[in-house]
Chains A and B, each alone.
Chain A
């Protein structure tokens, strides 16, 4: 059954007594709704949590072993002259003189470096696609400050040439976010960087959704003359009003499900031991669905991760209290240029900071950047992430980490190269709820790997090869592994005169 049919029926059910529902469809409906029905004619209404499911399939791969590389495992460890063994799309082992998995191809990486693929937790690829014309302005549903009902995946254009550029920079996984015009910008989507015809083909199977929220200047600038919020206190009032509604919505649904389950049980018992003359109880009526509150309630349930655009330290501290007030968690502050001022608070609350190495000055809330923000947050024991927020920046996040690392060292913050790679893979994976499956070279994790031409913290280094789930998806020396979007077919270099 497709999702349209499903929702049409769910809506009908919400309005009609169960006994009027078309009995012939009941089993199918119950199955699709992931509920159970004791007998035809009644099914508990449960919003489908995954109506646009991933169709991602890894490329075919064979086992391989990378030999003689310098390996940063993404979790903080470095290995010299080490091997990385991969089979069935997963990491088998990292270490010296590894036995090759059966049938493995050997890749000599002497003089080269191996790391987990880079994960960018803050990208607008696809929603602000290149070329940046009005027609591609799909990142901000700036028509009302609370639009948690907007889903970034419904804006992603998979032919954005930026995806291929990011791949050449070693990026294997990205979170695509709505923009920051709104207090509640909408749902994010986590993509694997294997090109596909559809966004579903890029969706990371099983990745939790994120929800974009924004602090500070952007919402008040966008709505200041459109009914508000026009101030930071208006921003806070706007969040709180929505959370109050979400709490009530969650309560109504929880109550419905409790009653519906009790009713289902009653039906099932009645079916087993029918009593003559017993009048069946009225089935409970599900609450009206609200697409905005669906998302917010799932945040309150802990199923959707809050990704919050916030620059200033004092605002972040208010947001942490806001989250406590309504019993949810902020997973990561994005941009977070003042995290260094409150790294202790961020550590205490277990919140990640996704940061630039040095971008600043374009607006007042970005005025207090320091070059050592990332290493200072890391040193305080809080979760530090290098992010891009840029179709240009995403192509060299390794250089951004290098700058931050060097500036930190110059200021006396001693962090090893291998430890710094945590900012590019394991910590971002954590902020996406995916650290159990990717983000480091731990055996059993997805074989998302980059082989670098040299030290990845050098400006002169390139990603030579990129692997996703154990399959080679990019090769700097082999055009057969250099994907190109439809948009660039007629505009690519060869068509315009060729490479010299």
Chain B
């Protein structure tokens, strides 16, 4: 059965044969200048958006899809996840999301671990998520290595960008890895960046810098120059301030903060620094001592202060198999004070901006043909996609879970053969 699914996916992910699609009559969330368009049309041609608007008519020969009463939006983008690298969280052999002790730890490259056949990809795709940032979060040091950006087509070319960012653990976890204290965490990061700055000269004669090995210093060098972004996880207000001081020391670093449970307490400072954040809006418990100020309206308060806010499941929580919850997270942010437009942007256009993907997260001529047709408000828990397109290709709405459902849908079948015979 798995082979069948894979075969189906491969068929769908095959190179575009330039089908032109016109989705007509729906409520279109463009995330772009026209805003919300009632009863508009979206035309997809050669894998990209060709036209969007109320007065757009389907081109001759286009496949016309009636979307009356439906919502039409860009595909959802997760600004942070571990999808495609974590199969079964608790089985080491099926989990590449953790990096152990190795001389190349900070040079880990999840693009090489990404598996487009991973079951969670179809499970997530059929809920309307079309792209995701994929990050390593483990490692012996605070620097976990390179993240990638992938689409969720399940095709062999899913990785859209290798080495898209470096993920760094600040806070409790980073401190634990950098000498058991925040007092050593920041000096550790300073030393690492100093090693990166010394690459390659220092490493011509040495394999080790003050904290990084050669491969690691090489990996971090483009981060220092701002050619590769950095995602840094911090939670408590004091750590966020340290992160902003860090950014001030290294102004070229393209910094995004992840976690940020107490961000609302330093929202103005974050806004002034122009540092974007990726938050999980339902983390409202003092789950750890660095989150005692966690609250449900964190995302709303940050946004109100002018901070650029993306929404994604918290690192290490529901960021792999349950990445699909991202829509419910955004819905809850809206329920707790964000505007709908900001809540939806936080899982589409804002991640596209943070991840430097100007062709995604919006429906405008020339952007990627990643489009979802929904049976209702996409942030509502009772809504679901009716159709999902990635790069102009219609995706199957089948997953291993839907196949299991269909197999056991009727327990009283007159057909007495065992369930294993059912296809």
Q: Which residues of A contact B (CB under 8 A)?
A: 130-133, 161-162, 165, 217, 340-344, 358-364, 367-372, 376, 380, 391-392, 395-396, 399, 402-403, 405-407, 410-411, 457-462, 487-488, 491, 493, 496-497, 500
Please pick, from B293, B325, B408, B419, the residue contacting A491 in the complex, using a CB distance under 8 A: B293
Check A405–B405 contact: CB distance below 8 A: no
Q: Given A131-B288, A361-B320, A407-B384, is A460 in contact with B404 using a C-beta cutoff of 8 Å?
A: no
Chain B, Cβ-Cβ closest to A457: B382
User: Once the chains are docked, how many angstroms separate the CA of A362 from the CA of B382?
Assistant: 24
Residue B184 CB within 8 A of the other chain: no
Please pick, from A344, A367, A457, A491, the residue contacting B286 in the complex, using a CB distance under 8 A: A491
Check A131–B291 contact: CB distance below 8 A: yes
User: Once the chains are docked, how many angstroms separate the CA of A303 from the CA of B297?
Assistant: 45
Check B405–A132 contact: CB distance below 8 A: no
Residue B137 CB within 8 A of the other chain: no
Chain B, Cβ-Cβ closest to A499: B297
Please pick, from A131, A343, A372, the residue contacting B289 in the complex, using a CB distance under 8 A: A131
Please pick, from A367, A371, A500, the residue contacting B405 in the complex, using a CB distance under 8 A: A371
Which of B265, B324, B382 has the largest number of chain A CB atoms within 10 A? B382
Please pick, from A376, A395, A496, the residue contacting B265 in the complex, using a CB distance under 8 A: A496
Please pick, from A217, A359, A363, A402, the residue contacting B381 in the complex, using a CB distance under 8 A: A402
- Which chain B residues lie closer than 8 Å to A363 at the CB level? 88-91
Check B89–A362 contact: CB distance below 8 A: yes
Q: Given A380-B411, A461-B335, A496-B293, is A406 in contact with B90 using a C-beta cutoff of 8 Å?
A: no
Please pick, from B285, B322, B411, the residue contacting A359 in the complex, using a CB distance under 8 A: B322
- Which chain A residues lie closer than 8 Å to B287 at the CB level? 130-132, 391
Binds A, one of B22-30, B147-155, B199-207, B326-334: B326-334
Chain A, Cβ-Cβ closest to B297: A499
Residue B301 CB within 8 A of the other chain: yes
Q: Determine how close the nearest CB of chain A comes to the CB of B259; give it in whole angstroms.
A: 15
User: Once the chains are docked, how many angstroms separate the CA of A493 from the CA of B296?
Assistant: 11
- Which chain B residues lie closer than 8 Å to A361 at the CB level? 87-89, 119-120, 123, 320-322
Check B295–A493 contact: CB distance below 8 A: yes
Check B335–A462 contact: CB distance below 8 A: yes
Check A340–B293 contact: CB distance below 8 A: no
- Which chain B residues lie closer than 8 Å to A380 at the CB level? 411
- Which chain B residues lie closer than 8 Å to A341 at the CB level? 408, 419
- CB-defined A-B contacts under 8 Å, sample of 8: A162-B285, A392-B285, A458-B380, A459-B328, A459-B331, A462-B335, A497-B265, A500-B301
- 8 closest Cβ contacts across the A-B interface? A361-B321, A459-B331, A406-B382, A491-B292, A363-B90, A370-B405, A362-B89, A402-B381
User: Once the chains are docked, how many angstroms separate the CA of A493 from the CA of B286?
Assistant: 12
Please pick, from B322, B331, B335, B404, the residue contacting A370 in the complex, using a CB distance under 8 A: B404
User: Once the chains are docked, how many angstroms separate the CA of A428 from the CA of B189?
Assistant: 51
Check A130–B285 contact: CB distance below 8 A: yes
User: Once the chains are docked, how many angstroms separate the CA of A161 from the CA of B324?
Assistant: 27
Check A403–B382 contact: CB distance below 8 A: yes
User: Once the chains are docked, how many angstroms separate the CA of A485 from the CA of B255?
Assistant: 36
Check B405–A362 contact: CB distance below 8 A: no
User: Once the chains are docked, how many angstroms separate the CA of A290 from the CA of B301?
Assistant: 56
Check B412–A370 contact: CB distance below 8 A: no
Check B91–A364 contact: CB distance below 8 A: yes
Check B286–A131 contact: CB distance below 8 A: yes
- Which chain B residues lie closer than 8 Å to A362 at the CB level? 88-90, 321
User: Once the chains are docked, how many angstroms separate the CA of A364 from the CA of B404?
Assistant: 15
Check B332–A459 contact: CB distance below 8 A: yes
Q: Determine how close the nearest CB of chain A comes to the CB of B64; give it in whole angstroms.
A: 24
User: Once the chains are docked, how many angstroms separate the CA of A411 from the CA of B402?
Assistant: 9
Check A340–B408 contact: CB distance below 8 A: yes
Q: Determine how close the nearest CB of chain B comes to the CB of A267; give it in whole angstroms.
A: 59
- Which chain A residues lie closer than 8 Å to B412 at the CB level? 344
Beyond A132-B287, A133-B289, 19 extra complex contacts between A and B, CB < 8 Å: A131-B292, A133-B288, A341-B408, A343-B411, A361-B320, A370-B401, A370-B405, A380-B411, A392-B282, A399-B381, A403-B328, A405-B382, A411-B409, A458-B380, A459-B331, A459-B335, A459-B380, A487-B286, A496-B237
Q: Determine how close the nearest CB of chain A comes to the CB of B292; give it in whole angstroms.
A: 4
Chain A, Cβ-Cβ closest to B301: A500
- Which chain A residues lie closer than 8 Å to B284 at the CB level? 165, 392, 395
- Which chain A residues lie closer than 8 Å to B409 at the CB level? 376, 411
User: Once the chains are docked, how many angstroms separate the CA of A364 from the CA of B92?
Assistant: 12
Residue-wise interface mask of B (252-296) relative to A, using a CB-CB cutoff of 8 A (1 in contact, 0 not): 000000000010010000000000000000111111110111010
Chain A, Cβ-Cβ closest to B280: A392
- Which chain B residues lie closer than 8 Å to A493 at the CB level? 293, 295
Check B321–A360 contact: CB distance below 8 A: yes
User: Once the chains are docked, how many angstroms separate the CA of A164 from the CA of B51?
Assistant: 50
- Which chain A residues lie closer than 8 Å to B282 at the CB level? 392, 395-396
Residue B39 CB within 8 A of the other chain: no
Check A399–B328 contact: CB distance below 8 A: yes
Residue B383 CB within 8 A of the other chain: yes
Q: Determine how close the nearest CB of chain A comes to the CB of B306; give it in whole angstroms.
A: 13
Residue B353 CB within 8 A of the other chain: no
User: Once the chains are docked, how many angstroms separate the CA of A343 from the CA of B405?
Assistant: 13
User: Once the chains are docked, how many angstroms separate the CA of A371 from the CA of B322?
Assistant: 12
- Which chain B residues lie closer than 8 Å to A133 at the CB level? 288-289
